Amino acid sequence: MAGMRNIVLIGFMGAGKTEVGQRLSEVLRRPFVDTDKIVEEAAGATIETIFETLGEDKFRELETDAIKSLSHIRGEVIATGGGAIAREENAKMLKQDGFVVYLYARPEVLFQRIANGTGRPLADRMNGQADMEVLLMQRDPLYRQTADLIVDTSDQTADAVEHEIFRAIGY
């Protein structure tokens, strides 16, 4: 892997971006950043509250600002929100200095993982797995076209996922 490119994790809600990102950051001793956290800090509110009070469009603006604010960083591990690549400009910026990893999981696995979670306004609005699959089907091609590496996390532990990424970056 060339020099100090960032490692950028993309994928649907429940793909494990934050967990895998934190683990990579620890082992590789690189800083970990999460675009959702940057948005929350900038807004002084949780993602849930931002969606509720300012709406999704405003959240998307803040998300793009967060990604822009990372344009100068190198050698970090970046976890993104599940919708971050839906804007082409975001995908371009993330790819520019990043080795982009799509953490894929089968729909039923994702649904299980997000069903009991909290703090995800889009997931809270979904009425069952079929609803989730509509959004997933829109995004899956975008994840794939943005990714340098695709890892199927459906039946793998975080440890195994991490090792697949290490192999790909030559660590």
Alpha-carbon distance of 111 to 142, in angstroms, equals 19
Q: Please, what is the minimum distance in Å from the beta carbon of residue 24 to ligand S3P?
A: 15
For the four alpha carbons of 106, 109, 112 and 118, in that order, the dihedral sign comes to negative
Looking at the Cβ atoms of 13 and 70, the one nearer to ligand S3P is: 13
Looking at the Cβ atoms of 107 and 121, the one nearer to ligand S3P is: 121
Residue 103, number of CB atoms within 10 A of its CB: 26
Q: Are 11 and 104 in contact (CB under 8 A)?
A: yes
Q: Please, what is the minimum distance in Å from the beta carbon of residue 141 to ligand S3P?
A: 15
Strand order across the 32-34 sheet: 32-34, 77-79, 6-10, 98-104, 149-152
Distance of CA 150 to the CA centre of its chain: 13
Looking at the Cβ atoms of 122 and 170, the one nearer to ligand S3P is: 122
- Provide the binding-site residues for ligand S3P, judged by CB under 6 A: 13, 17, 36, 47, 81-83, 120-122
Alpha-carbon distance of 54 to 69, in angstroms, equals 21
Q: Please, what is the minimum distance in Å from the beta carbon of residue 3 to ligand S3P?
A: 27
Q: Please, what is the minimum distance in Å from the beta carbon of residue 36 to ligand S3P?
A: 5
Looking at the Cβ atoms of 138 and 157, the one nearer to ligand S3P is: 138
